[in-house]
Amino acid sequence: MNAAPEDHPRLHTISVVVPVYQGARTLPRLIDELEPLTRAQTTMGGVDFVVAEVLLVHDCGPDASDQIIRELAESHDFVRPIWLSRNFGQHAATLAGMASTASDWIATIDEDGQHDPADMSAMLDTALRERAAVVYAAPTNKPSHGWLRNSTSAAARWTFTKLLSSEGQPPYNSYRFMLGEIGRSVAAYSGSGIYLDVAIGWVSQRFATQPIRLRDEGDRVSGYSLRSLASHFWKLVLTSGTRPLRLMSLVGALFACVGFLAAIFVFVGRVSGAIDEVGWASLTTVVLVGFGLVLFSLGLVAEYVGVAARMAMGRPPFLIVSDTEQGPLGRQADAPR
């Protein structure tokens, strides 16, 4: 029998949210690892905690994850299925799970097995020790992806950290540990297309990190293609604030200064006779570069307008429905008599 929170007034309860897209092969092992944590535990720092529930959010993937989720919910009383009406993406599925939690803390963890659930105890200690509302996992080793994906991920992370994020922003990671009220509040107001970690940063500046070691995903194929990863990064850029617009303004001002200095040089050259005539190549280059910058700036502004328009239209980031097998879609026609 799992420990009831009311029997332990200082017991910290944790809701574990797992967005599921292709988890048919990895979910049973993950639940087996989480099962011991559903009984009262004590961290290295002397803090009592228990995993009160595990929410498996079905994001309508291509495999048989839905059937595995039903079987796990039937055999484990701490497993709660969350059914989405269609595939909304990892962040939207995570938000749906966070909105459905009821514990002191929320932990978000991947389905593929690269995150060790046992690390949650250290993340809880870090949160209490540093008075942090959100703790991000900080991997000490590279994920078991190919060199191309690791390289592009590192480049994207550097670009965001150095050029787009504010000072002191922690490295984002899908393995998160946060206050329940923070997670549920973010899930309540986040609009469609929002980058989850950016939304968390809007309401909390008390971040911390916990070093962890990533595990091998085995032979599981990643659900992210290069195109989807690029789209993921672009969403991060657009929802991170107006800093890209400021960068474009700075680039425009820089080119204006260069153009002004070039004009002075050409004017002095013409007056002194050093330049007989202005070359068409120079003029064409200036026109093309300037026109390209204008178009790029307009496209960037249009993307921001598009994000604002989608949010203003009220498009939901996710929609929770009942299990299709338990509703009208699951009813089979009677055999002909």
Domain membership of residue 115 (yes or no) is yes
| Same domain membership, residue 147 and residue 29 | yes
Kindly calculate the radius of gyration of the chain based on its CA atoms and give it in whole angstroms: 26
pLDDT greater than 70 at residue 84: yes
pLDDT at 194: 75
Q: Does 255 map to a domain?
A: yes
Number of separate domains in the chain: 2
Q: Please check whether residues 57 and 143 belong to one and the same domain.
A: yes
pLDDT tens per residue, range 306-333: 667 666 645 556 666 677 677 555 555 5
Same domain, yes or no, for 261 and 307?
yes
Write the pLDDT tens digit of every residue in 279-303: 655 665 576 667 667 767 776 776 6
Taking alpha carbons only, the member of 184, 225, 216, 218 closest to residue 89 is 225
Which residues span the domain enclosing 308?
A: 243-312
The pLDDT value recorded for residue 259 is 64
CA distance 210 to 124: 9
> Are 107 and 250 part of one and the same domain?
no
The answer to whether residues 262 and 189 belong to one domain is: no
CA–CA distance from 217 to each of 1, 23, 67, 221, 318 (Å)?
32, 12, 21, 9, 27
Model's pTM, two decimal places?
A: 0.72
pLDDT band at 270 (very low <50, low <70, confident <90, very high): low
23 lies in some domain: yes
The answer to whether residues 163 and 298 belong to one domain is no
- 288 occurs within a structural domain: yes
Least confident span in 32-41, 44-53, 201-210: 201-210
The band of 25, judged by pLDDT with boundaries at 50, 70 and 90, is very high
Check whether residue 306 and residue 166 sit in a common domain. no
Question: What confidence tens digit (pLDDT) does each residue in 169-219 have?
Answer: 677 889 999 999 999 988 988 877 777 888 888 788 789 999 999 987 655
Residues in the chain: 337
Check pLDDT > 70 for residue 38: yes
Q: What's the average model confidence in pLDDT over 115-131?
A: 95
Burial 159-194 (b: 16+ CB within 10 A, else e): ebeeebbeeebbebbbbbbbbbebbbbbbeebbebb
Determine, yes or no, domain membership for 330.
Answer: no
Whether residue 256 sits in one domain with residue 221 = no
Indicate if 60 and 155 belong to the same structural domain. Answer: yes
If pLDDT is split at 50, 70 and 90, which confidence band does 263 have? low
- How much is the average pLDDT of 150-167? 60
Higher pLDDT, 74 or 206: 74
In a domain, 324, yes or no: no
Mean pLDDT of 261-269: 68
> What is the rounded CA–CA span in Å between residue 46 and residue 10?
11
CATH of the domain at 177: 3.90.550.10
Residue 329: inside a domain: no
Domain membership of residue 336 (yes or no) is no
In this structure, the answer to whether residues 103 and 172 fall within a common structural domain is: yes
Q: Do 43 and 87 lie in a common domain?
A: yes
Is 249 found in the same domain as 208?
no
Which amino acid, 330? G
Q: State the average pLDDT over residues 108-129.
A: 94
Q: In the predicted model, what is the mean pLDDT of the chain?
A: 78
pLDDT at residue 1 above 50?
A: no
Under the banding of pLDDT at 50, 70 and 90, the label for residue 253 is low
